[in-house]
Chain A
């Protein structure tokens, strides 16, 4: 724990406990050791020539602005408090993937939003796959759009092929989810991967060589929106409201991947 700001200090009970686990250390061994303070970016090293007990007041051994991450991956509303950070903090948002079609249309994924002081990130959910008909594949769902970010990519549309895959979420290189792939099952849709992948196409057949029903189209992947702040651009303690969009539903076991917000800092 951070050493107190005033009063008497014990070398072994306070100082050595914080700065080293080696109780055999003396104060002189801490010359040149790096120190930090709570809640601020101040840092430095202990003097190599003039070290006293008061030199340790309000100092700590670990960086309070160390790297970290936070992920929100259930449909919900949350508040994120900006921690102290030293280099950058990044916000990445995906909506929910669309649900596969079958008999009837798959559900559209929910929209994810991140309300930043300077902009609102919006990642729209993927559209559900269309309903199939006799010898006719349902239309594929469109990919979700996005806005507000310094980086962003729309989700990919689902496939219009029989048993075709769902669309990928935008921002695959940032961790977006791939569309679900139909492994061959009849009367079965396959879910999209989180975050934001669209559900796979669905296929119905009575087992004859001339299938009567060609099933629903693949669902669209969600959009992706991201924003990066560099050092000093976003004040620690700022409240950021986050809404994570729900999956697009499917009556055929092929829902989309859930929406997600990922925050990383260093």
Chain B
């Protein structure tokens, strides 16, 4: 059983655990299953929680409740898309992150190419890493396939 603060006829705030409320309402015998209206008289609504929907990176969710026939309240979720400006900002931040990472990898391989200790066969492998890194597709910066050994060995 979960609760919320009950003010002006509506649940407000976030969920409160039963464990917490047992410590607060020390005069209430929870094991006798008092009705929801009893808790409302004490300033708390009985809320049936629901699973928060899985959100995309461009969505936010807001909680609200609707009252059930038995006097409990049903937790609901309002999913909202962020504004196009905010969406662009989120995209750009992630694109910068993966672009910086791609450039960091290329600079490592550039240094390795200049290393006189590398053998001709190793230089060929390094060039494969460079080519694979340059070809990384950043169209969706949240779902990037980074090169790995398996990919390089197949080249």
Q: Which residues of A contact B (CB under 8 A)?
A: 1-2, 38-39, 64, 68, 70, 76-84, 103-105, 130-131, 133-136, 204-206, 212-213, 236-237, 239, 241-242
B interface residues (Cβ-Cβ under 8 A, vs A):
4-5, 13-17, 19-21, 23-24, 26-27, 29, 52, 63, 97-98, 101, 104-105, 108-109, 112, 125-126, 129, 144, 146-149, 152-153
Known: A2-B27, A39-B27, A83-B20. A78 touches B97 (CB 8 A): no
For the complex, would chain A's binding face be called helix, strand, loop or mixed by DSSP majority? loop
Q: Which of A68, A78, A84 has the most CB of B within 10 A?
A: A78
> Considering the chains assembled together, what is the distance between the CA atoms of A103 and B149 in angstroms?
10
Q: Is the CB of A83 within 8 A of B24?
A: yes
Q: Please tell me which one of the listed residues B17, B108, B153 contacts residue A133 in the complex, with CB atoms under 8 A apart.
A: B108
A-B complex: 7 closest residue pairs judged by Cβ atoms: A103-B146, A64-B26, A83-B23, A38-B27, A104-B146, A79-B14, A79-B13
Partner of B24, one of A81, A135, A136, A213: A81
Q: Which residue of B lies closest to A103 (CB)?
A: B146
Contact B13 A105 (CB under 8 A): no
CB contact under 8 A between A241 and B14, given known A39-B26, A81-B20? yes
Q: Report yes or no: A212 in contact with B125, Cβ–Cβ below 8 A.
A: yes
CA of A45 to CA of B152, assembled, Å:
80
Docked-complex contact B23 and A68, CB < 8 angstroms: yes
Given contacts A39-B26, A131-B146, A134-B125, contact A78 B108 (CB under 8 A): no
Are the C-beta atoms of A79 and B15 separated by less than 8 Å?
A: yes
10 new A-B contacts at CB < 8 Å, known A77-B14, A104-B146, A131-B101: A2-B27, A76-B52, A79-B15, A79-B16, A81-B16, A81-B24, A82-B24, A105-B98, A130-B101, A131-B104
Other-chain contact of B97, A39, A105, A135 (Cβ < 8 Å)? A105
For residue A131, which residues in chain B have a CB less than 8 angstroms away from its CB? 101, 104-105, 146
Q: Which A residues lie within 8 Å of B21 (CB)?
A: 81
B109 touches A134 (CB 8 A): yes
* B43: min CB distance to chain A, Å: 9
